[in-house]
Amino acid sequence: MHNGVYDCDSVKKMLASGARLIDVRTPAEFAQGALPGAMNIPLQTIPAAAARFRPEDTLLVYCRSGSRSMFAQQYLQRMGFSKVHNIGAYGSMAGCLN
């Protein structure tokens, strides 16, 4: 288990290993800037969008502050996804991955 603090290197390693990057902010927020390769799946659409993924996929979720992505992580875990990581706030990762 991860301790909940994600640094740039750990996120890059997960992405290099095939992790999927999910931005759970609104489409308007996403349009203002997003992490490279991220797909926009707003929090309220997670239940319907979960079919896009396999239970064994590694999913990295983020939002503006880390709060919505925490809810997305919990929801996905309840749906049977065991490799879901809340990488927190867009701003903290933007300088690292852009």
Q: Which of 38, 63, 84, 93 is catalytic?
A: 63
Decide if 8 is catalytic. Answer: no
Q: What is the SS3 string spanning the chain?
A: CCCCCCCHHHHHHHHHCCCEEEECCCHHHHHCCCCCCCEECCHHHHHHHHHHCCCCCCEEEEECCCHHHHHHHHHHHHCCCCCEEEEEEHHHHHHHHC
Residue positions annotated with a catalytic role: 63
